[in-house]
């Protein structure tokens, strides 16, 4: 366990990747969004305003997942860290930073609700559907989403280093075809209403559990790939 924690410390040596850049992306998106809302309000636009800029640092976590493998894995092997220790320590680092980001999202949502949407009736963190079951469920939702993006990037980087560009590209193409095939099937069965209705009734808690489960499956499934990856 101590060696796994050493991997966490090793990953966090590069705090820019794990901490400061995601926070800068989040702060930048928030400031820009509030400025746009303020301009709209001064122009006479009434009613609540919502923005999707909070997704920006979550998407960035996929890049963090890529860099966690491509930049740190070769160094860890030179330090005689086992692949198992590296994998567990990296996933633990992702969980810690995802928890930090989720906590910031929750605090931001509380501030938004207390200030009537930053004074311009705008909501960046406290989106109604995500906060429908309260701040704890909303925090878990953001945590699960950040972990899913991280593990997806981490898995993609492992496939790239183990099998090369051709296999990674082929994998992405297959996933895209499966997505298009699923969309075609939903249209063929006239089931779009049922599909979106399920998301509406399931709620953010169920969707967060689903994302967490997918992230866990990916994290377990990619370890055999990592074991055969050359630094």
Query: pLDDT by residue for the chain (231 residues), tens digit each?
Result: 678 888 888 888 878 888 888 889 889 999 999 998 888 887 766 778 888 888 888 888 898 889 888 888 888 888 888 889 999 999 999 999 999 999 999 999 999 999 988 888 889 998 888 898 899 999 999 999 999 999 999 999 999 988 888 998 999 899 999 999 998 988 888 888 888 787 778 888 999 999 999 999 999 998 898 888 877
84 to 24, 96, 140, 220, 224: CA distances (angstroms): 32, 18, 26, 11, 10
Radius of gyration of the chain (CA): 20
**What token pair was written down for 228?**
């055969």
pLDDT for 1 equals 66
Structure tokens at 130: 């995500």
| Helix and strand element counts for the chain (H, E) | 10, 2
Least Cα distance to 94 among 162, 149, 55 occurs for: 149
Phi, psi of 81 (to 5 degrees): -85, 130
For position 89, what pLDDT does the model report?
A: 92
Residue 183 has which token pair? 């969309």
Q: Which among 206, 79, 86 is positioned nearest to 157, based on CA atoms? A: 86
pTM for the whole structure: 0.89
Cα angle for residues 36, 41, 44 (degrees, 5° grid): 135
Q: Decide: 35 and 125 in contact? Cβ < 8 Å.
A: no
| Total structural domains within the chain | 1
CA dihedral for 100, 26, 210, 71, sign (positive or negative): negative
DSSP assignments along 158-211, one per residue? HHHHHH-HHHHHHHHHHHHHHHHHHHHHHHHTT-HHHHHHHHHHHHHHHHHHHH
Match 């989403």 to its residue by tokens.
145
Residues 6+ apart with CB under 8 A from 64: 17, 18, 22, 94, 97, 150, 153
Residue 222 CB-half CA count within 13 A: 27
Domain that holds residue 35: 2-227
- E-strand ranges in 47-199 read 49-50, 122-123
End-to-end CA distance of the chain: 23
Kindly state the tokens that stand for 187: 């249209």
């Amino acid at each position: 366990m101590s060696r796994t924690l050493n991997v966490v410390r090793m990953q966090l040596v590069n705090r820019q990747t794990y901490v400061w850049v995601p926070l800068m992306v989040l702060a930048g998106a928030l400031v820009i969004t509030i400025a746009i809302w303020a301009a709209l309000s001064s122009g006479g636009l009434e009613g609540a305003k919502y923005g999707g800029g909070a997704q920006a640092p979550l998407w960035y976590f996929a890049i963090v997942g890529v860099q966690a493998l491509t930049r740190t894995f070769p160094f860890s092997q030179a330090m005689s860290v086992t692949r198992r220790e590296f994998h567990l320590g990296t996933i633990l680092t992702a969980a810690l930073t995802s928890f930090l980001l989720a906590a910031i999202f929750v605090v931001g949502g509380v501030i938004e609700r207390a200030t009537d949407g930053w004074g311009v009736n705008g909501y960046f963190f406290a989106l109604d559907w995500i906060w429908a079951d309260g701040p704890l469920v909303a925090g878990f939702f953001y945590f699960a989403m950040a972990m899913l993006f991280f593990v997806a990037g981490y898995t993609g980087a492992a496939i790239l280093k183990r099998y090369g560009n051709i296999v990674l590209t082929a994998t992405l193409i297959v996933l895209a075809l499966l997505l298009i095939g699923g969309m075609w099937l939903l249209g063929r069965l006239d089931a779009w209403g049922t599909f979106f209705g399920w998301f509406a009734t399931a709620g953010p808690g169920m969707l967060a559990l689903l994302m967490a489960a997918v992230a866990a499956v990916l994290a377990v499934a990619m370890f055999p790939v990592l074991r055969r990856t050359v630094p």
